[in-house]
Structure 1
Amino acid sequence: MQLHTLILVPRLIGNVLALWVFYGYMKETQRAVIFMINLAIADLAQVLSLPLRIFYYVSRTWPFGGGVCIFCFYLKYVNMYASIYLLVCVSIRRVLFLMYPFKFSDCKCIYDVYISIAGWIVVCIGWLPFPLLRFNYSEMNISNKCFADLPINGIKLSNSIVMMTIGELIGFVTPLLIILYCSWKTILSLKENNSISHNFEEKKKVLKMTLTCAVVFLICLPPYHISFPLDFLVKSHQIKNSHAQNVISLFHAVALYLASLNSCVDPVIDYFTTEEFRR
């Protein structure tokens, strides 16, 4: 709870500032600004639910009803995986612009809008089963529980493993491999140019962006995606050993806080890797 309180203000200020800056430069640049705007919106959506989360962990009661609870719980998934999707789009967009400047120099922002809308739809639908598994309207209203205290509805072990595997592969492993590939392609393109030129400097900027995205992935997200399936098995009563349950629950809580720092880091990425943001 303390960490949620500490990161609320910087997340709110950073992402509102990012929206303001990128909206002002939307017509001036073609360097993935639409994806940057959507990234700030995804982070901001999660930030706006933090006061209710903080209230719950302070008071240990939830008077706002089951629907509001499950919606705030759902926003966590939408924020995290929309951010992952958009970071991948930023990396791909910048590498394509760098590797094929003539082909993508006239690429209109409207295409990025369509890609962003498609990503939002896929993320919102794809991760809907996870909050629905925690949804029990009558029980939530009686117990006044929410967030991590929500029980998981009955589900077979085989179904749990399938859901976890698909979620991990699509939501984390594949995006990480794509970002690492973009970084590798940019490094190769830098080696092809030994002279200091505008193109060389542009490649260095793209490399900085893709490497920064990769670092964010490697620092903030792996612990959560290791603990998430284990925590799911604990809450669905597939893991019954009490000591293992306590260790996994503690690890998952720490990993969740670390993953939430992603929303604080995104505006920092904007500043250090985007010329328009620094201006």
Structure 2
Amino acid sequence: MTNCSTQDVDTVTQKLDLVFYVPVLVFGLALNITALVVFCQLLRKWTEPSIYMTNLALMDLLLLLQLPFKMHAAYHKWEEDKKLLCSFLESLYFVAMYGSIYTIACIALDRYITINHPFCAKQVRSRKNALIICVFIWFFCIGATSPIYTFREETAGNFTCFHGFSAKGWSTAIIVCLEVFGFLLPATVLVLCSVQSIQTIKASKSTSDKKQAGVRIIYSSLAAFLVPFTPCHIAIFLQYLVRNGIISDCRQQKNIALFIQVSMNIANVTCCLDALCYYFIAKEVRSTKDSLRLSISRGRTTSSSDV
């Protein structure tokens, strides 16, 4: 990587951080805490979707709790003896981000099984299995983010937390695993499950209003995933090209540095999008799921009897 100062970009992103982080922190905490209260106390029956949505709210809260530290790190350098604390906070941030990604993918897969394979769903879906999957997501993300503890530069003096990963953190193996397993794989699961679920809903014998409700739910989950997470993973790949000397033009490097900071801020907005999407559609999911499953089952039974 050539010597190209991005100090002017850092000055701009400091102001952008406040513009993004303060509203996201305030509204995200309020929405996700409210969602947890609803899922844990007010819902009469603990179901598979409510387990996944509770896990999603917990992941979002974990990410939100890192934002004050990120805001502090944007304006203050940390002392050398706080490197371990910084790596711990960085790992929690990525555990929350990728835990949210995998939880959203699991919600889409659970919805797909319910809508497209209603008979199989009775055998595959259960509250116990949903809980096991959520626990696995936590352990998987904690294990997958553990290399972050080795990414901090071994330099003396104060440092900037949440910035300045060493060359090891931008190695080809790390970035390929991040892009493929952290984004492309769950994104593929989400898109394929969503497309097939939409096709099944439109082909069902449900009323027009219920079809539209089901389709809106799926489009909401797609938007809550693709809008925040796609730009930041494109930016990570571009920054990988910069850190490995493939992009050497200083102006392009500055643009990419700005892009990655803005896109990461947009990714944090998912804390609010998740709460809005999954909290406000929870009742709609429950009211439409049974009727859709019954309609689809009747349609398949009719088709079988005609053969």
Interval of TM-score (by shorter of Structure 1 and Structure 2): 0.7 to 0.9
Report the alpha carbon displacement of residue 215 of structure 1 after superposing the two structures with TM. 1.5
**Which letter does structure 2 place at the counterpart of 1:43?**
D
Look up the match of 2:61: 44
Structural mapping, 1:94-105, within 5 Å: 94-105=111-122
Query: Mean Cα displacement is larger for which, 112-121 or 165-174?
Result: 165-174
Alignment gaps of 5+ in structure 2:
1-16, 288-307
Report the alpha carbon displacement of residue 193 of structure 1 after superposing the two structures with TM. 2.4
Q: Is the 8 A contact 1:69 1:146 kept in 2?
A: yes
Question: Is residue 163 of structure 1 aligned with residue 174 of structure 2?
Answer: yes
Look up the match of 1:65: 82
Q: Is the 8 A contact 2:39 2:54 kept in 1?
A: yes
Supply the RMSD in Å over aligned alpha carbons: 2.8
Look up the match of 1:152: 166
Structure 2 residue matching 1:221: 3-state secondary structure: helix
Change (3 A) 1:145 1:191: closer
Report the alpha carbon displacement of residue 31 of structure 1 after superposing the two structures with TM. 4.3
From 140, 154, 161, the counterpart of 1:122: 140
**Which letter does structure 1 place at the counterpart of 2:277?**
I
Look up the match of 2:6: none
Look up the match of 1:211: 219
Alignment gaps of 5+ in structure 1:
none
Question: Is residue 220 of structure 1 aligned with residue 228 of structure 2?
Answer: yes
Aligned residue pair count:
268
Report the alpha carbon displacement of residue 266 of structure 1 after superposing the two structures with TM. 0.6
From 169, 191, 208, the counterpart of 2:202: 191
Change (3 A) 1:205 1:117: farther
Look up the match of 2:299: none
Look up the match of 2:94: 77
From 10, 17, 22, the counterpart of 2:27: 10
Q: Is the 8 A contact 2:151 2:168 kept in 1?
A: no
Change (3 A) 1:153 1:28: same
Look up the match of 1:23: 40
Q: Is the 8 A contact 2:77 2:160 kept in 1?
A: yes
Change (3 A) 1:187 1:151: closer
Q: Is the 8 A contact 2:201 2:214 kept in 1?
A: no
Question: Is residue 35 of structure 1 aligned with residue 52 of structure 2?
Answer: yes
TM-score (norm: length of structure 1):
0.84
Query: Mean Cα displacement is larger for which, 13-22 or 232-241?
Result: 232-241
Q: Is the 8 A contact 1:5 1:54 kept in 2?
A: no
Look up the match of 1:174: 185
Q: Is the 8 A contact 1:224 1:252 kept in 2?
A: yes
Look up the match of 1:261: 269
Report the alpha carbon displacement of residue 26 of structure 1 after superposing the two structures with TM. 5.8
Task: Supply the distance in 2 between the matched residues of 1:151 and 1:91 (Cα, whole angstroms).
Answer: 33
From 227, 244, 247, the counterpart of 2:252: 244
Task: Supply the distance in 2 between the matched residues of 1:234 and 1:250 (Cα, whole angstroms).
Answer: 13
Change (3 A) 1:115 1:215: same
Report the alpha carbon displacement of residue 163 of structure 1 after superposing the two structures with TM. 2.6
Q: Highest Rg: 1 or 2?
A: 2
- Give deviations 1:108-167, integer Å, cap 9, x for gaps: 3111010111111122212333x234224x63x72232112x241457x8xx23332232
Structure 2 residue matching 1:143: 3-state secondary structure: coil
Change (3 A) 1:193 1:237: closer
| Percent identity of equivalent pairs | 26
Q: Is the 8 A contact 2:84 2:149 kept in 1?
A: no
Change (3 A) 1:154 1:274: closer
**Which letter does structure 1 place at the counterpart of 2:63?**
Q
**Which letter does structure 1 place at the counterpart of 2:257?**
S
Change (3 A) 1:25 1:186: farther
Task: Supply the distance in 2 between the matched residues of 1:246 and 1:127 (Cα, whole angstroms).
Answer: 27
Report the alpha carbon displacement of residue 204 of structure 1 after superposing the two structures with TM. 4.8
Report the alpha carbon displacement of residue 9 of structure 1 after superposing the two structures with TM. 0.8
Task: Supply the distance in 1 between the matched residues of 2:195 and 2:168 (Cα, whole angstroms).
Answer: 44
